[in-house]
Amino acid sequence: MQLLDGKILSQKIEQNIAHEVKQLKLVPGLAVILVGHDPASAAYVNMKKKACDRAGFYSVTHEMPEDISQDAIENTIIMMNQNPNINGILIQLPLPSQIDTTKILELVDPSKDVDGFHPYNVGRLTTGLDGFVPCTPLGVMHLLAEYDIDVKGKNCVVVGASNIVGKPMAALLLNANATVEICHIFTDDLKKHTLHADILLVGVGVINLIKEDMVKEGVIIIDIGINRTLDGKLVGDVDFDNVSKKCSYITPVPGGVGPMTIAMLLSNTLKAAKINAKERI
């Protein structure tokens, strides 16, 4: 069993981005909208800001109260769309119940949609065209490539069908010529599906969902889940201690997919900045 170390790879990617920023003499700009006081969201945004600082990016966080109005957020996004110093706009999800999340995501300029959530970019991903890809699935593909894991022809089972992770993950795998199956909350007999996986990718937020008897020998496990136990420990969706005994490769939690998500956010923002710089010439 070998660990797929996202922490080491993300540091390498971040260093390469910082070097490229210096060479190009660009200052990519990232703006984040953070609504409310969720500790996990605040911590994650803080990690993103620190990564921007290390890479030589300009970053700004618009912190908004929990009872913010739809119009107030929309006006902020319109302002950021028009700001030439902002190349990437990130809406920290989830948003409060009074906010129409779909409308907010659709308002972001697709050329600044570094999270890859705008329908324009979703459509380009689905049809195999270049665009902005959601950071977590994109990070998974980079992690697999780093360890020379070719998904072509492999049976890949994605557990979780969210718009943020599961669906774009499946699209990326399909574009890379994998055989893809998506399982979700209504899937009957999950074990029946996971047992056939050459590569099993799980991101649903359920501790120990995947157990040892649900996977075959030599399986590659990508644990995208991030959960906190009652004693404060961070764990994924896979029973790591037992499942890892049967794996050829597995991602740890923390230190697997998580750091790659932030590295891909930097990569997408730099990509947006380079596109913007070309358009100005």
Give residue-wise pLDDT tens across range 60-78.
999 999 999 999 999 999 9
Q: Which of 15, 50, 82, 92 is catalytic?
A: 92
Structure confidence at residue 51 (pLDDT): 95
Whether 203 is in a domain gets the answer yes
> Are residue 155 and residue 191 in the same domain, yes or no?
yes
How many Å apart are CA 33 and CA 27, to the nearest integer?
20
Catalytic residue list contains 92: yes
DSSP string, 192-240: HHHTT-SEEEE-S--TT-B-GGGS-TTEEEEE---EE-TTS-EE-SB-H
Average pLDDT, the chain: 95
Q: Which of 112, 113, 115, 223 is catalytic?
A: 115
* Helix, strand, coil percentages for the chain (3-state, nearest 5): 45, 15, 35
CATH number at residue 187: 3.40.50.720
Catalytic residue list contains 11: no
> Are residue 253 and residue 163 in the same domain, yes or no?
yes
Structure confidence at residue 206 (pLDDT): 95
Structure confidence at residue 211 (pLDDT): 97
Count of the separate structural domains present in the chain: 2
pLDDT band at residue 101 under the 50/70/90 scheme: very high
Q: What is the pLDDT of residues 200-243, one digit of tens each?
A: 999 999 999 999 999 999 999 999 999 989 888 999 999 999 99
Structure confidence at residue 276 (pLDDT): 86
- Structural domain including 99 reads 25-111
Catalytic residue list contains 98: no
Q: What is the pLDDT of residues 115-161, one digit of tens each?
A: 999 999 999 999 999 999 999 999 999 999 999 999 999 999 999 99
Average pLDDT over residues 68-97: 95
Q: In the chain, what's the furthest Cα-to-Cα distance?
A: 58
> Are residue 154 and residue 105 in the same domain, yes or no?
no
Whether 193 is in a domain gets the answer yes
Structure confidence at residue 41 (pLDDT): 85
> Are residue 232 and residue 190 in the same domain, yes or no?
yes
pLDDT at 278 over 80: no
CATH number at residue 67: 3.40.50.10860
Q: Which of 5, 11, 25, 48 is catalytic?
A: 48
pLDDT band at residue 280 under the 50/70/90 scheme: low
pLDDT at 49 over 80: yes
